[in-house]
Amino acid sequence: MSIMQYNGGCLVGMKGKNCVAIASDRRFGVQALGLSTNFQRMFSVNNRLYYGLAGLGTDVQTLSEKFRMSVNMYNLKEERDIAPTTFASLVSSTLYERRFGPYFSEPVIVGLEKDDTPFICAMDLIGCINFAKDFVVTGTSSEQLYGMCEALWEPDLEPEDLFETISQAMLNAVDRDALSGWGAVVHVITPTQVITRTLKGRMD
């Protein structure tokens, strides 16, 4: 029994042409028993920066509340929105603070920088940042997601194509993992808008 496989769930983030996308599944369970089909793993920092947390459910919720507080304080103190790289450093240092008693959660962060350059990164549970150029994955079906992304991703996908790519990667990866699935949500972030779609997948 590994603590990172107790509740299940997974996330994927992808870079496109002047856009980024992040997708998560919706399952929450206690080992083999599935309990919820609408567990929220993805959260918005602002309309240009989203992040997701996979791993132990309670840590997902506590960390999202901690980050909401840190970002609110940042916005009030600095009177500006937090940049994606700065937010990634904030998440990393928050996780490393608990180096010897960590939060059992691994984040994925996607967003657009001030000049609209796409940004994605992922981290391990103690805050080691992986600044990827193409896609990032985390969760119980990360291996499956790596395979799907490697096969399907190509550079400079337009928002609509990026949506198709990330959705197929998510749906097919979670079908090979007992602890992930039960629905999926995708956010596609462009300089002008964020499009959120719920995917229809196998509910087994």
**Residue nearer to another protein on the CB measure, 78 or 164:** 78
What is the SS3 string spanning the chain? CCHHHCCCCEEEEEECCCCEEEEEECCEEECCEEEECCCCCEEEEECCEEEEEEECHHHHHHHHHHHHHHHHHHHHHHCCCCCHHHHHHHHHHHHHCCCCCCCCEEEEEEEECCCCCEEEEEECCCCCEECCCCEEEEECCHHHHHHHHHHHCCCCCCHHHHHHHHHHHHHHHHCCCCCCCCCEEEEEECCCCEEEEEECCCCC
Residue 187 C-beta: closest distance to another protein, Å: 24
- Cβ density class 45-64: b for 16+ within 10 Å, e for less: beebbbbbbbbbbebbbebb
**Residue nearer to another protein on the CB measure, 80 or 200:** 80
Binding to another protein by residue 93, rule CB under 8 A?
A: yes
Interface residue with another protein, options 90, 126, 152, 199 (CB under 8 A): 90
Phi-psi region of 21 (alpha: psi -120 to 50; beta: other; left: phi over 0): beta
Residue 121 C-beta: closest distance to another protein, Å: 12
Binding to another protein by residue 86, rule CB under 8 A?
A: yes
Count of residues that interact with another protein, criterion CB under 8 A? 10
**Residue nearer to another protein on the CB measure, 103 or 163:** 103
**Residue nearer to another protein on the CB measure, 70 or 168:** 70
**Residue nearer to another protein on the CB measure, 6 or 74:** 74
Binding to another protein by residue 77, rule CB under 8 A?
A: yes
Binding letters toward another protein, positions 36-75, x by CB under 8 A: ----------------------------------------
Q: Which stretch binds another protein (CB under 8 A): 36-44, 76-84, 159-167, 187-195?
A: 76-84
Binding to another protein by residue 85, rule CB under 8 A?
A: yes
Residues that bind another protein (CB under 8 A): 77-80, 85-86, 89-90, 92-93
